[in-house]
Structure 1
Amino acid sequence: MSGFIGKEQHAIDDKGRLMIPARFRRRMTVVPDESQKSSRGSASDAGGLYVMKVPDGSLELYEPSVWAEKEQAIVRLSDFNPDERLLKTLLYESLDCVEMDRQGRIALSREFLQHAGISRDVVIVGANVKMILWAPEKLSKVVRDNASRFQVLAGRYF
């Protein structure tokens, strides 16, 4: 279903957990359920999400059904082509699976939080099929530094 649209600011708690906004949880196809515990590394069970470090300094969250489509493209990459093998390595090095608890929280690792420069506050941007997590000051800088490019980019792609 997806359709994550909007922006919300939340805080990471002392245990590194982030509350997924209720309006985004309502759009999700996975439902957190404590009775369906799954092993770490398998987001395909209820309540799991894929989290990926992105080179721009953000984190992206994907539901299993959305990630499965991307996974199909990754699986088709050859282990014998050096560029494709490198891409696989870079992708999987930047990927983790997280479980969502009954309260709608996910635990983000210290490595992932440091990558995004998130210490406490985080902005969650709904981007249709994914959620993008930003440190507020990083997002503000990206928007400010690229505001003049918006019209050119929009004209090119729309």
Structure 2
Amino acid sequence: MSYLTGEYECKLDAKGRMMIPAGLKKQLPEADAEGIVINRGLEKYLVIYTKKEWDKKLDELSKLNEFDRNAVAFVRYFTAGATTLIPDSAGRINFPKNLMQHAGITTDVVLTCMLNKIEVWDAAAHKAMIANEPENFAELAELVMGNKKRVNE
């Protein structure tokens, strides 16, 4: 499996459209035919998935107990607002207004590739999030990754 890489600064036009950056477009060859899915993130950002990755998420969600209130609530909120976007002939995607409002997105956005998805941040919110990096990133790395076994062991 190949993962998405890169961080891109973009601008939305007055209609909420954004040109997909060339470097990202090369990593999303199926986007023109299948579209991409945009949805709310777990915080104040949006998430873009390829159609294939979105379908994997839906497969995971379909296995949850439909009679468990927490599971139902999670599925409801996770899928709320999910929209398939197909780039127009100029290579632009149109962000849904309700999702833009949820994430506080105005005109300047930052696209951050996160393995198999893309986070879409309002540029000011992204800057604030990055400025909030832990003082000792090494401690966070040890906490999250420190208990992993070495590949050669």
Say whether the fold is shared (TM-score over 0.5). yes
Q: Which aligned pairs between 1:75-90 and structure 2 lie closer than 5 A? A: 75-90=62-77
How far the C-alpha of 1:148 sits from its partner, in A, is: 1.6
Q: 1:31 to 1:55 in 2, by over 3 A?
A: closer
State the aligned residue count.
Answer: 145
Q: Which aligned pairs between 1:1-158 and structure 2 lie closer than 5 A? A: 2-32=2-32, 46-148=33-135, 150-158=137-145
**8 Å contact kept, 1:60–1:130:** yes
Q: Which runs of 5+ in 2 are unaligned?
A: 146-153
Structure exhibiting the larger radius of gyration computed from Cα positions: 2
Report the 3-state secondary structure (helix = DSSP H, G, I; strand = E; otherwise coil) of the residue aligned with 2:64: coil
Identity of aligned residues (%): 25
Q: Detail structure 1 runs of 4+ shifted over 6 Å in the superposition.
A: none
1:3 maps to amino acid: Y
Q: 1:55 to 1:149 in 2, by over 3 A?
A: farther
Report the more deviating stretch, 17-26 or 95-104. 95-104
Report the 3-state secondary structure (helix = DSSP H, G, I; strand = E; otherwise coil) of the residue aligned with 1:84: helix
Report the 3-state secondary structure (helix = DSSP H, G, I; strand = E; otherwise coil) of the residue aligned with 1:4: coil
2:56 maps to amino acid: E
In structure 1, C-alpha distance between the alignment counterparts of 2:122 and 2:10, rounded to whole Å: 10
How far the C-alpha of 1:2 sits from its partner, in A, is: 4.8
Report the 3-state secondary structure (helix = DSSP H, G, I; strand = E; otherwise coil) of the residue aligned with 1:62: strand
Q: Which runs of 5+ in 1 are unaligned?
A: 33-45
Report the more deviating stretch, 107-116 or 94-103. 94-103
In structure 2, C-alpha distance between the alignment counterparts of 1:62 and 1:114, rounded to whole Å: 19
Residue in 1 that maps onto 2:148: none
Report the 3-state secondary structure (helix = DSSP H, G, I; strand = E; otherwise coil) of the residue aligned with 2:13: coil
